[in-house]
A and B are shown apart, each in its own frame.
Chain A
Amino acid sequence: MTPKRLFPLLLIAAVACGGPPDARSAADLEPPAPPPLPWERQPSDPPAVASPLVALVGGTVMTAAGRTVEDGVVVMENGRLHAVGARDEVPVPDGAEIIDVSGRFVTPGLIDDHSHMGVYPSPHVRATADGNEMVDPVTPGMRAADAFWPQDPQLPRAVAGGVTTIQVLPGSGNLIGGAGAIVKLHLGRSVSEMEFPGAPETLKMACGENPKRVYGSGRQSAPMTRMGNVHGYRAAFQDAIEYGRGFEEWQAEHQSWQRDRQRYDAAVAAGEVDPNAADPGDGPSDPGPAPLPPERDFGLERLLGAIQGRVLVQMHCYRADEMARMIEVGQELGFRIRSFHHAVEAYKIRDLLARHDVSVSTWADWWGFKLEAYDTIEENLPLLTQAGARGILHSDSAMLVQRLNQEAAKAMTAGRRAGIPITEDQALRWITINPAWALGIHEQTGSLEAGKMADVVVWNRNPFSVYARADLVFIDGQRVYDRAAPNPVYRTDFEVGQDLELAPEGDR
C-alpha cells in the first residue's frame, strides 16, 4: 500500500455515483477533498539543508546495504550523502574538509523505532509523565509530538550512542494510544524543529497485558481480558469505517449538489429562471448552500488512515498467538501492521511474519518482567533474519538506546553461538535500514548510499564491540556530536546550573 494514496474509497464511490454526463467538464465534478488536518498544513517539501562539504576518508565503511568497504570514502554536503565507496572509486572532491577516519568504522546513523524519550523524560517525575493518555483505552487522536519535550536530558545521551532518528511512541496503557513522532536528534527548541520531514504518520496500538491491567485490574472497566482488547480494536476500526462512509456520503451529496447548482446557474444564465421571482416556475430550483462535511474526528481520521495504508501501524504485542490473531483482525478490518513491537515470541511464527511482510521490533534478551515476556529466546532476531522476516532491534529504554550497537552484537552472537551465521551487515540492518522501513523513511535514511540523508556515525572501533564508542555523529550533514569536543548545546537546559556547587573534578 502506498502511504500517499488518499481516500481511494471515496474516489471509487464518486465514480459509482457519477450519473449522466453533464455539459460541464469532468473536473468540475471531482468530489471535494476533505479539509486538511491541522498538522498536515506543514510544507511537504522541507527547505534544503545547508551543511559543509565533508569527506570521511580511510575508514571501514559498513553501509547496511549489503556492502562493507575497507579504506572507504564517504562524501556529504548540504544534508545529503554524495558518494560512498572505496578510495579508488570515490574521488575526494576539491575543497572538502577531509576527516581521516583510518582505523575507524563508519556506519549509518542508528535508528530506534521504539522510544519514549521526550514523553517519559529524565528525571522521571509526575510532572514529566506525558506518554499515556489513560482516560480511555482508545485514544487514536493523541500525538506524541504534542507532548515531546526537546530538552529531555536523555536525548543527547542517545546521540552519543550513535542514534540519529527515533520514533517517539505513546505508551502501551491504551489499546490504541495515538500517533508516534518521528524525530531526528539534531536538537531543537520545539518538536517542529526536529520532526523527520515527510515521514508518514504512525499509530501505536497495544495487545495483551498492559491495557487489561490498566483498565480491567486497575479500574474494573473494559478491557478486562484479551477478548476485551480485540473487541476494542474491532469497535474502534468499525467506527472509523463508518466515519469514512459518512465522508463518502457527503462527497456523493456534494457532487449531486454541484450538478444541481450547475443546472440552476445555467438556467439563471439562460434566463430560464428568475432568481428573484417569488415562484421559480418549472425550471430548476436553487439548491442552496453546499452540504457541510461530517464533523471531523481526529482519532477516527487516523484509524481510517491506517485502513488506507497512509498511517503505519506499530503494534505492541509479545505472544505469538496474539500476533497471529492481530494479523487476522487487521485483515478483517482492512489495516496492515507495519511492525510488531517487543514481539519476544516472533520466532514461533516467523514464517507467517515473513509471508505477511510484518517487521519485528524486539530486544536482544529482555525477558520475564511479565508473563507475556517469559518465552524470550536469545536467537529471536537471528531466526527471523534466517526466515526472511525483517528484524529490528529496538530499545523502549533511554538506557538501552545508548547501546543499540552492543545489543545488536549480542543478538548476532547468540545466533552464531547457535550456529545461525549472522553477518555484521545483517546485524547492522537491525538498527538502521530495517527500523527505517518500519517507519516508512527507508528511502531517505538508514543506509550509506548516495542521495540519502547524511546521517552518519564514526566509531572508534568495530561497533560490535562492548568497547566501541561513537567518535562523531552527523545528522543531515551537521556534526552534532564529537566525543573529543563535547558540544555545549548537547547539554540540555534542564542540566544547566545543576553543578554550580560541584568541585571541578574530571570532565563531564
Chain B
Amino acid sequence: MRRCTLTLLASLLAAPASAQTPAPIALVGGTVLPGDGAPIEDATVVIRGDRIVSVTAGGAAPAGAEVLDCQGATITPGFVGTQVPLGLVEIGLEPSTVDEAPEDDDADPIRASFSVVDGYNPTSTLIPVARRWGVTSVVSTPSGGLVSGTSAWLDLRGATLDRLLVEERAALHVDLGDGGIREGGGARSSALNRLREAFDDARLYRQRRASFDRRGLRELSISRLDLERMSEALGGDFPVVVRVSRSHDILRVLAFAREQGVRLVLAGAEEGWMVAAQIAAADVPVILQPMTNLPAQFSQLHARYDNAALLHAAGVPLIITTEGAHELRNLRQEAGNAVASGLPADVALRALTLEPARVFGVDDDYGTIAAGRVANLVVWTGDPFEVTTWARQVFIRGESVPLTTRQTQLYERYRDLEQVPRGLRGLPRAP
C-alpha cells in the first residue's frame, strides 16, 4: 500500500491565495465511504477552508490545490464518540481530574442543569489519543445521578471553546440503569416517580413561568436551573437520552417518553433485541456497545453479541459507542465486532458518523462526506474497522491535524534506550 503523499501542485502558477480563501486540498484516488451511500472508488474529495466542496469519482483536482495521493486508502467521515465523558476525566481514580459528575455522594440526583461545557478540558491528553484513531467529534456526556445533565457536541481540535464547540446542549441525560435506580431511591418505581415529578414540575414551570417568578406556584421538586433545562427538553430543544438495560425497563421508558412527550434516545439497551420491534415502532434510536455480551448484572442477563444486528434488522437506528473516554480509539473495534456478528458494514459506519449527527441535530454539517459538510474526515490504511489498519491522516474542519499524542511522545522518548536523556537512565559508568 502506498503512503498518502502530499504534493504541492503548480503552487507557483496558482493565483495568490488570500487569507480568506486558503488553497483547496484535494484527496485523490482513495475509496470514499461517504456514510450515507455507496462507496465511491477513485474518488476526489476537495476541501476548502473548513468545508468539503466536492466529492466526485475520478474528478480532477482544482488548480492550485494541495493534492494528497490517497490510492489504496479508505476515506470515511470522522467518527463521533458518544455517551463518554471525553474532556471531563483525565485519571479515572483521581477526583480532582474528574468533572463528569459531582463528587459528593449526597448530591441531588436531579442535575439537569449540570453542563458539560463548564467542565470540558480541551487540553486533555485523551483528546489526541482519540483523534489519532479517527475520532473527530465527541458528544461529551455527564454521568451519575438520576438526571445527569446536558452533553455537548465538540470537535476535537482547538484549545478554546469558541473554536471547538458545535452544540452546547446536545441532549439531556437520564440514568435508569442500576446506578440511576439506586440514586432515584433504589427501586424502579421510586426512580421513575422521581423523574415523573421532575418533568411534571418542569411542564408546570414551562406553562406558568410568570407565576413561578411571582412565587405563585405550588412547591416544585427541583431547582430553577434544573426546571429550565428540563423544560427545554419538553419543548423539544434536544433529545432525552435514557440509559437503561433490562428489556421491560425499556418498554417502561418508551411509555414514559410518550407520556411526557419528549424525544427519546436509548443508551445501553443491552436487552434491546428482546423488544426491538417496540423500539423500532417508536422510532427511537439506540446508543450501544456491540461487544457487551455478558450477563454482568441481573438487569442485563440477556446481553448478547448480536444485539446490534438484531436491533438493526428490526429497523432501529443505531449509534455505536465504547466503554469510556480513554477507550474511544476502540470505537472501530466495536463496529468491527458488530459487523462480525451480523450488522451490515455500512450501517456500522453510519452508526459512528451520520447517525450521531442526525440524533444530536447537526446532520446539516456533520456525518457524511458530501459537498457543503464540515471537512471532518479520516484517511485509513484500509478497512477502517480492521485491527490491523490505522488512520494515516485525520482532517478536522479542513485541517490535517497532527497524530501525535502524549503516548507517541513517550514512545519517541524511550524508543532508543541509549538515547534516553541522561538522568533518566542513571549515572554513566566510568570505563
A residues within 8 Å of B by Cβ?
Answer: 122-125, 153-154, 157, 209, 213, 347-348, 350-351, 365-371, 374-379, 383, 398-399, 402-403, 406, 409-410, 412-413, 417-418, 464-469, 494-495, 498-499, 502-503, 505-506, 508
Is the contact region of chain A dominated by helix, strand, or loop, or is it mixed? loop
How far is it, in angstroms, between the C-alpha of A123 and the C-alpha of B178 when the chains are bound? 13
28 A/B residue pairs, CB under 8 Å, sorted by A: A124-B296, A125-B298, A154-B294, A157-B294, A213-B93, A350-B417, A366-B327, A368-B90, A370-B92, A371-B91, A375-B410, A378-B411, A383-B414, A398-B294, A402-B291, A403-B291, A406-B333, A406-B387, A409-B388, A413-B388, A413-B389, A464-B388, A465-B386, A465-B387, A466-B333, A502-B274, A505-B274, A505-B310
Closest B residue to A412 by beta carbon equals B388
Closest A residue to B93 by beta carbon equals A370
A466 in contact with B304 given A368-B92, A413-B388 (CB within 8 Å): no
A153 in contact with B94 given A368-B126, A379-B411, A418-B411 (CB within 8 Å): no
Q: Are B297 and A413 in contact (CB under 8 A)?
A: no
Q: Are B387 and A369 in contact (CB under 8 A)?
A: no
A506 in contact with B388 given A123-B298, A370-B93 (CB within 8 Å): no
Q: Are B296 and A122 in contact (CB under 8 A)?
A: yes
How far is it, in angstroms, between the C-alpha of A468 and the C-alpha of B340 when the chains are bound? 7
**In the assembled complex, which residues on chain A have CB atoms less than 8 Å from the CB atom of B99?**
none
Q: B148 within 8 Å of A by Cβ?
A: no
Q: How far is the CB of B42 from chain A (nearest CB, A)?
A: 25
**In the assembled complex, which residues on chain A have CB atoms less than 8 Å from the CB atom of B389?**
413
A350, A377, A403, A412: most-surrounded residue (chain B CB, <10 A): A377
Interface residues on B, range: 35 or more
Q: B407 within 8 Å of A by Cβ?
A: yes
Q: Are A122 and B295 in contact (CB under 8 A)?
A: yes
A506 in contact with B92 given A123-B296, A383-B414 (CB within 8 Å): no
- Chain B residues numbered 84-124 whose CB sits less than 8 Å from any CB in chain A: 90-94
**In the assembled complex, which residues on chain A have CB atoms less than 8 Å from the CB atom of B40?**
none
A368 in contact with B326 given A350-B417, A409-B388, A413-B387 (CB within 8 Å): yes
**In the assembled complex, which residues on chain B have CB atoms less than 8 Å from the CB atom of A348?**
414
Contact with A along B369-399 (1 / 0, CB 8 A): 0000000000000000111111000000000
How far is it, in angstroms, between the C-alpha of A222 and the C-alpha of B295 when the chains are bound? 36
Q: B243 within 8 Å of A by Cβ?
A: no
- With A406-B337, A409-B387 given, name 12 new contacts (CB 8 A): A124-B297, A350-B417, A368-B326, A369-B92, A369-B326, A370-B93, A378-B411, A399-B294, A402-B291, A413-B388, A466-B336, A467-B339
Closest A residue to B388 by beta carbon equals A413
- Chain B residues numbered 313-333 whose CB sits less than 8 Å from any CB in chain A: 326-327, 329-330, 333
Q: How far is the CB of B275 from chain A (nearest CB, A)?
A: 10
Contact with A along B280-320 (1 / 0, CB 8 A): 00000000000111111110011010100010000000000
- Chain B residues numbered 208-229 whose CB sits less than 8 Å from any CB in chain A: none
How far is it, in angstroms, between the C-alpha of A365 and the C-alpha of B328 when the chains are bound? 11
Q: Are B306 and A417 in contact (CB under 8 A)?
A: no
Closest B residue to A154 by beta carbon equals B294
Partner of B302, one of A124, A370, A378, A499: A499
Q: B273 within 8 Å of A by Cβ?
A: yes
Closest B residue to A368 by beta carbon equals B326
Q: Are A123 and B295 in contact (CB under 8 A)?
A: yes
Q: How far is the CB of A343 from chain B (nearest CB, A)?
A: 14
Q: How far is the CB of B28 from chain A (nearest CB, A)?
A: 23
Partner of B407, one of A378, A398, A410, A466: A378
How far is it, in angstroms, between the C-alpha of A209 and the C-alpha of B94 when the chains are bound? 11
Q: Are A371 and B407 in contact (CB under 8 A)?
A: no
**In the assembled complex, which residues on chain A have CB atoms less than 8 Å from the CB atom of B410?**
375, 377
A367 in contact with B387 given A122-B296, A374-B91, A406-B333 (CB within 8 Å): no
Partner of A370, one of B94, B333, B415: B94
How far is it, in angstroms, between the C-alpha of A505 and the C-alpha of B247 when the chains are bound? 14
**In the assembled complex, which residues on chain A have CB atoms less than 8 Å from the CB atom of B94?**
370-371
Q: Are A377 and B295 in contact (CB under 8 A)?
A: no
A508 in contact with B91 given A375-B410, A467-B339, A502-B274 (CB within 8 Å): no
Contact with A along B327-361 (1 / 0, CB 8 A): 10110010011011000000000000000000000
Q: How far is the CB of B6 from chain A (nearest CB, A)?
A: 19
Closest A residue to B410 by beta carbon equals A377
How far is it, in angstroms, between the C-alpha of A366 and the C-alpha of B329 when the chains are bound? 10
B301, B386, B387, B411: most-surrounded residue (chain A CB, <10 A): B387
Q: Are A466 and B302 in contact (CB under 8 A)?
A: no
Closest A residue to B385 by beta carbon equals A466
Q: Are A467 and B390 in contact (CB under 8 A)?
A: no
Partner of B304, one of A124, A351, A379, A508: A508
Closest B residue to A465 by beta carbon equals B386
**In the assembled complex, which residues on chain A have CB atoms less than 8 Å from the CB atom of B295?**
122-123, 153, 494-495, 498
**In the assembled complex, which residues on chain B have CB atoms less than 8 Å from the CB atom of A502?**
274, 302
**In the assembled complex, which residues on chain A have CB atoms less than 8 Å from the CB atom of B339?**
466-467
Which 7 pairs show the lowest CB-CB distances between chains A and B?
Answer: A466-B336, A369-B92, A370-B93, A409-B387, A368-B326, A467-B340, A377-B411
Q: Are B407 and A376 in contact (CB under 8 A)?
A: yes
**In the assembled complex, which residues on chain A have CB atoms less than 8 Å from the CB atom of B415?**
383, 418
Contact with A along B395-427 (1 / 0, CB 8 A): 000000000000110110011010000000000
**In the assembled complex, which residues on chain A have CB atoms less than 8 Å from the CB atom of B411?**
347, 377-379, 383, 418
Q: How far is the CB of A325 from chain B (nearest CB, A)?
A: 14
Partner of B93, one of A123, A371, A505: A371
Closest B residue to A503 by beta carbon equals B274
A506 in contact with B306 given A368-B92, A413-B388 (CB within 8 Å): yes
Closest A residue to B94 by beta carbon equals A371
How far is it, in angstroms, between the C-alpha of A367 and the C-alpha of B330 when the chains are bound? 12
**In the assembled complex, which residues on chain A have CB atoms less than 8 Å from the CB atom of B298?**
123, 125
**In the assembled complex, which residues on chain A have CB atoms less than 8 Å from the CB atom of B390?**
413, 417
Q: How far is the CB of B72 from chain A (nearest CB, A)?
A: 16
Closest B residue to A411 by beta carbon equals B387
How far is it, in angstroms, between the C-alpha of A499 and the C-alpha of B417 when the chains are bound? 57
Q: Are B297 and A123 in contact (CB under 8 A)?
A: yes
Q: How far is the CB of A151 from chain B (nearest CB, A)?
A: 12
Closest B residue to A498 by beta carbon equals B301
How far is it, in angstroms, between the C-alpha of A498 and the C-alpha of B386 when the chains are bound? 35
Closest A residue to B291 by beta carbon equals A399
How far is it, in angstroms, between the C-alpha of A172 and the C-alpha of B292 when the chains are bound? 25
Q: How far is the CB of B299 from chain A (nearest CB, A)?
A: 9
A209 in contact with B93 given A154-B294, A369-B326 (CB within 8 Å): yes
Q: How far is the CB of A386 from chain B (nearest CB, A)?
A: 10
Q: Are A464 and B387 in contact (CB under 8 A)?
A: yes
**In the assembled complex, which residues on chain B have CB atoms less than 8 Å from the CB atom of A122?**
294-296
Q: Are B386 and A466 in contact (CB under 8 A)?
A: yes
How far is it, in angstroms, between the C-alpha of A369 and the C-alpha of B415 when the chains are bound? 24
**In the assembled complex, which residues on chain B have CB atoms less than 8 Å from the CB atom of A365?**
327, 329-330
**In the assembled complex, which residues on chain B have CB atoms less than 8 Å from the CB atom of A368?**
90-92, 126, 326
**In the assembled complex, which residues on chain A have CB atoms less than 8 Å from the CB atom of B306?**
506
**In the assembled complex, which residues on chain A have CB atoms less than 8 Å from the CB atom of B329?**
365
Q: Are B91 and A370 in contact (CB under 8 A)?
A: yes
Partner of B293, one of A157, A350, A375: A157
**In the assembled complex, which residues on chain B have CB atoms less than 8 Å from the CB atom of A376?**
407
**In the assembled complex, which residues on chain B have CB atoms less than 8 Å from the CB atom of A378?**
407, 411
Closest A residue to B298 by beta carbon equals A123
